[in-house]
Chain A
Amino acid sequence: MTVPSPSPSPSPADSSAPPLLETREVGKVFGSVIALRGVSMVLHAGEVTCVLGDNGAGKSTLIKILAGVHAHDGGEYLVDGSPVRLGGPREALDRGIATVYQDLAMIPLMSVWRNFFLGSEPVTGPLRRFDVARAKRVAREELRDMGIDIRDVDQPVGTLSGGERQSVAIARAVHFGARALILDEPTSALGVKQAGVVLRYIARARDRGLGVVFITHNPHHAYPVGDRFLVLNRGTSLGQFAKADITREELTSLMAGGAELDHLAHELGRAAADTTPGPASAGPGTT
C-alpha cells in the first residue's frame, strides 16, 4: 500500500511517513465497565513502543484492539495512516500485525521446527507433502539470523527455557512477514538473565525494521529498549513519552509511585547491568 507523503523531503530516520500503527483516543467498553478510554499511541517501523501499566491498567485491552481481537468503540485506529476496523486476528495478521501472547501458542511436546511452521506448513509435490527438509532448514536459518542459539531444531519446545521459547515465537512472527510485532509481557515470567535474552531479540527485530509494541509492567525492561513509552493507569493514558523526554527514574515513579521506588530500584540495578553500560547499583536480592 502506498500512501503519498505530505512532506516533500522525508528522511528515512524521521517519522514523516505515516506510522505503522496509531491509535487516536481509542476506547473500549465491556457492558458497564470502561476498560479503556482516550488512549493515543504511535508505532513507527524500526522503533519500539513500550506500553506500561500495572495489572488492570488496560494493557491487555489495548493490545487486543491492536491485534484485532476486540473492535474499538471510540476513537480511531490507523494502520499505515488509514483508519481501520479489524474484523479479527486473521485480518490483523494479513496486514502484518503479529501478536506473541504470553502463552506463546507453542506445543511443548512438539519439536522446534514443527512449532515454527504450525498452521503455515510449507508443502511440496503433487501430494502436498509437508516439506520437512525445508521447514527444518528455514527454522534453523531464521533462528540463527535472529541470533537465537538453538542447538537442535528437533528438540521439543518443552525442553527450551522460557526466554528461548519467547525468542522462537518472535522469530516465527518475523518469518511470517510481521511488520508490527505485539509482544504481550514477554519478560514477565522470566528471570533477569532470561529477560535480557528476550530484550536482545526485541532489539534485533527492531533493527530488522519491524515496529515492536512491547507490553510490560517493568520499566527496567522497557527503558533500555524502548523509543516511546505509553503509560496506562486504570484504563486511561498518563501520556506517551519519547525517550528523550523522560528518564528511567521518571518513568519508574510515574508507573509505580514513590512508595515502591526503593523496591524497584533493586531490579533497576540488575537490568541495567545486563543491558546498558554505565553504573549499576549492587542491589541485594530479587523480588
Chain B
Amino acid sequence: MTSVPADERLAGAGVLRRLLVRPELGSVVGAVAVFAFFSSQSAVFRSADGVANWLDPASTLGIMAVAIALLMIGGEFDLSAGVLTGTTGLVMVTLATRFGWNVWLAMLAGLVPALAIGFLNGLLVVRTKLPSFIVTLGTFLMLQGLNLGITKAITGTVQVGGLRRADGYEGARAVLAGSVTVGGVDFRVAIFWWLAVTALATWVLMRTRAGNWIFAIGGDEQAARAVGVPAARVKIGLFMTTATAAWLVGSIMALRLSSVQANAGIGQEFIYIIAAVIGGCLLTGGYGSAVGASIGALIFGMADKGIVFAGWDADWFKFFLGGMLLLATLANSLVRRYAEEARR
C-alpha cells in the first residue's frame, strides 16, 4: 500500500493555527486593547513618562509572574511566593540595620532562607505527592506568622526600616532599585531586570533540555518519568527558581523603600498566578510561556496606573482585573481546543 497522500484535512489550517497555538496570543490582544483604551482616556498614559510610570509596577510583578509561569508550566503552584518577597526583604533589612551588615552581604544572606524555603516546598511536594496548592498554602501561612512574630520580637513594631543608613546602600540601590535615563525619561532599573528575567526564562523554556523537561512534567509526569526525565529534580529546581525570583523582588522593594513591612507581599501570590494565566499558562500545567506571563504583568501594570491616569476611582481596579482574568482564561481555553482539535 502506498503512503497516505497529502492530507486534505490540513488545508488552510497552517498559518492561522500556528499563530493561534502560541500561548501568549490572547494576552497580546488583551494588552493592545488595554493600551488603546487607556491611551484614548488619558494623554499622560501614552506619553513617555506615562509609559515609564506603568512599566514600574509591571516590572516587579513581571519578574515574579515569569517564575510562577515556569512553575505552573511544570504543573505546580506556589502560594508562598508573595510572602517570601517580604521574608527576604525583612532578613536583608534586619541584618543590615540591626546587625550592621553591609547591604550587599545582607542581601546575599536573604537568598539563603529563600532557597531553603523553595527547596522545602519542592521536596514536600515531590515526596508527599500532596497538591502544591496545599503544601505552599501551609508554608505561606507559616511564613506570614514568622515574618510578623520575628519582626515584632526584634523591633517591637511591625516594620524594619533605616536601610538608607546602612553600608553599601547607595550601590545596591543603584543596581536594583535606581533609575536609568533613556531619552530624557527616567525608567526604573527594575524594568531591565524584568526584561532580562523574561529573556532568560524564555531561553530556558525553548532552548534547553530543562525547558523540555518542564513542559513534559507539567504535561504528563508519568510519561516524562518513563523516558528518563528527572521529574523530582526539575520540580524542586522550579520551586527554588520561584524563591530566587521572590528574593530578587524582595530585595528590589526593600532597597526602593528602605524599609519593609512585616506583612509585605501578602496577597500578591494570586496576582502572580493571574498574570501567568492571562499570559496563557494552563492551571493544569504543560502549557504556557514566559513572554505571556510578562505581558500579563504588563496588562496589570497598565490597568493599575491607567485607572489613576483616567481619573477613576482605584477601587475599580480589582473588578477590571477579575474581568480580564475570566476573559483571558476563556480565550485561552477556546484557542487551545481549536488548536488541538483542528485535525479531527
Residues of A bordering B, CB below 8 Å? 90, 101, 103-110, 114, 117-121, 123, 128-130, 132, 147, 149, 151-152, 154-156, 158-161, 196, 200, 274
Is B224 close to A, CB under 8 A? yes
Is B229 close to A, CB under 8 A? yes
Is B178 close to A, CB under 8 A? no
Complex contacts, A121 vs chain B, CB 8 Å: 209, 212
Q: A101-B226, A151-B7, A159-B342 are in contact. Are A200 and B1 (CB under 8 A)?
A: yes
Assess the A114–B209 pair: CB atoms within 8 A: no
Q: How far is the CA of A107 from the CA of B103 in the complex (A)?
A: 46
Assess the A159–B340 pair: CB atoms within 8 A: yes
Assess the B208–A108 pair: CB atoms within 8 A: no
3 pairs of A and B residues whose beta carbons are closest in the complex: A107-B219, A119-B227, A119-B228
The distance from the CB of B339 to the nearest CB of chain A, in whole angstroms, is: 7
Complex contacts, B219 vs chain A, CB 8 Å: 107-110
Q: How far is the CA of A92 from the CA of B237 in the complex (A)?
A: 29
Q: List residues of B (251-304) whose CB comes within 8 Å of A's CBs.
A: 286-287
Complex contacts, B208 vs chain A, CB 8 Å: 128-130
Assess the A156–B340 pair: CB atoms within 8 A: yes
Q: How far is the CA of A90 from the CA of B21 in the complex (A)?
A: 35
Residues of B bordering A, CB below 8 Å? 1, 3-4, 6-7, 10, 14, 18, 21, 206-209, 211-213, 215-216, 219-220, 222-224, 226-229, 286-287, 339-343
23 contacts between A and B (CB under 8 A): A105-B224, A105-B226, A106-B220, A107-B215, A107-B219, A107-B223, A108-B219, A109-B286, A109-B287, A110-B219, A114-B216, A118-B213, A118-B224, A118-B229, A119-B213, A119-B228, A121-B209, A129-B207, A155-B343, A158-B340, A159-B339, A159-B342, A161-B343
Question: Which residue of chain B is the closest to A127 with respect to CB atoms?
Answer: B208
The distance from the CB of B1 to the nearest CB of chain A, in whole angstroms, is: 7
Interface centre among A119, A151, A200 (most CB of B within 10 A): A119
Q: A154-B18, A156-B340 are in contact. List 5 more A-B contacts (CB 8 A).
A: A105-B224, A107-B216, A120-B228, A149-B7, A159-B340
Do most interface residues of chain A lie in helix, strand or loop, or is the interface mixed? Answer: loop
Q: A118-B229, A129-B207 are in contact. Are A103 and B223 (CB under 8 A)?
A: yes
Complex contacts, B6 vs chain A, CB 8 Å: 151
Kindly identify which residue among B10, B21, B215, B343 contacts A114, using a CB–CB cutoff of 8 Å: B215
Complex contacts, B211 vs chain A, CB 8 Å: 130
Kindly identify which residue among B3, B215, B222 contacts A110, using a CB–CB cutoff of 8 Å: B215
Question: Which residue of chain B is the closest to A161 with respect to CB atoms?
Answer: B343
